[in-house]
Structure formats: structure tokens, C-alpha cells
Chain A
Amino acid sequence: GQQVMQIPQYQHVQEGEDFTTYCNSSTTLSNIQWYKQRPGGHPVFLIQLVKSGEVKKQKRLTFQFGEAKKNSSLHITATQTTDVGTYFCAGSSNTGKLIFGQGTTLQVKP
């Protein structure tokens, strides 16, 4: 079945350093979504990418969707302690179901 792989599983960075998490799908996606889950919390929607090669920015966060619509990345510039949490990508197929990646847990050392 459809799988979405996400790496790395964990990332520890010093505050101010950059951070990137990568997502790869076994099949072409209709769109990809990114969520952030703080410890003890629930996933919060960050953004949706639909078009091939799309790049979107939210302040220090940059999201990319690959040309083949099978991979995506989230890049955070100059991390802050408030960026701590687990970032999930979720691929949407034609059925509308979301297949979540395993998540990347980000720890930021002040």
C-alpha cells in the first residue's frame, strides 16, 4: 500500500541553527500537508502544498513540494525553542485519506 517515509526521526539542534525534515511517498500525491505536534498535544495544521514544484513560506518555515509530487521538505531557518515538537508530513491520495509520515521530532537547545 501507499507509504510515506519521513527522515530523520530525531534532530537535536542548537538554537539558531537550521533544521530540515524530508518526506518521500511511494506514490504520486494529490497534495501534501504538514502538521506540528507539541509534546502532549494534537497535530496542528501548518500548510498544504498542491502544485508540482510548489514552494511556500511561513516566516522562518519553508515548505517545498517536489516536481514529481512524491517528495516534500520542511526547512526551518534559525530555530528557536518554540519550534520544539514533532513535525509530520501527510500525503493525500485521490481517496482523500491522509497517510502520515513517521514524524521528525525536533529538540532545540537554548
Chain B
Amino acid sequence: GAVVSQHPSRVICKSGTSVKIECRSLDFQATTMFWYRQFPKKSLMLMATSNEGSKATYEQGVEKDKFLINHASLTLSTLTVTSAHPEDSSFYICSARMGHTDTQYFGPGTRLTVL
């Protein structure tokens, strides 16, 4: 149980294009999903908290207009990187929290490369 999927696993895009990443909880309902960014050999940096049916809460320094988050259902959250630039290249990982527990279950991550 507690499986989280992410799609796509890898994406290469040209500078200036937008990329959408999907995060799904496959066997449970996730009232809250989190989006993280991880640079090579670095820790996970929380970007935003996504609650179903409401606006995402962004961490300080994260541009909400650049990283659009939508949490339309209890099993799906999307992150759209708008007008991507090479500095946005990173490993993006989502996690989902089951109910009101504290445990977060992580997706397999999406490696974004912007040329």
C-alpha cells in the first residue's frame, strides 16, 4: 500500500517551454501533497504544500507564478514549470500524506533537463 506515482520520470525540454509533472496517490486518498526539489547530492528542499481543493502554500523564495500547482482531486496533484530555463533543471519529487498522519510517501521523482 501507499504507492505514489509520478509522470513523467524524465523530461527534456527547450528553454521557454512549460512542463507539467503529475503526482498520483494510487491506493489511498491524499488530502495533502508536497512538492520538493533536489539538486545533485543535496537534500530535499520543500517547494510547496498542496491541499486538495485549495491554493497551494509556497515556501519562501519559490515563485508561485513559475511553479504552478494544482490539486484537483484527492489522488492527483500537478506541478507545472512555466517558461522553463536551464536553472530549473533538477529532480522534482512529490510526496503524499495519508489522512492526518505525518508520514509522507514519496513518488519516484521526475528529472527535468532544460536545454
**A contact set with B: CB distance below 8 Å:** 1, 30-31, 33, 35, 41-45, 48, 88, 92, 96-103, 105
Contact = CB atoms under 8 A, between A and B. Distances in A.
Given A31-B102, A48-B103, A97 B109 contact: no
| Chain A binding surface SS class | strand
Contact of B43 (A30, A33, A96, A102): A102
A97 B49 contact: yes
B44 interface: yes
**Max chain A C-beta neighbours (<10 A), residue from B34, B60, B106:** B106
Contacts of A1: 60
Interface residues of B, number: 20
Contacts of B103: 33, 45, 48
**Max chain A C-beta neighbours (<10 A), residue from B42, B102, B107:** B102
Contacts of A96: 32, 49, 97, 102
Contacts of A48: 102-103
**Max chain B C-beta neighbours (<10 A), residue from A43, A97, A102, A105:** A43
Nearest to B107: A42
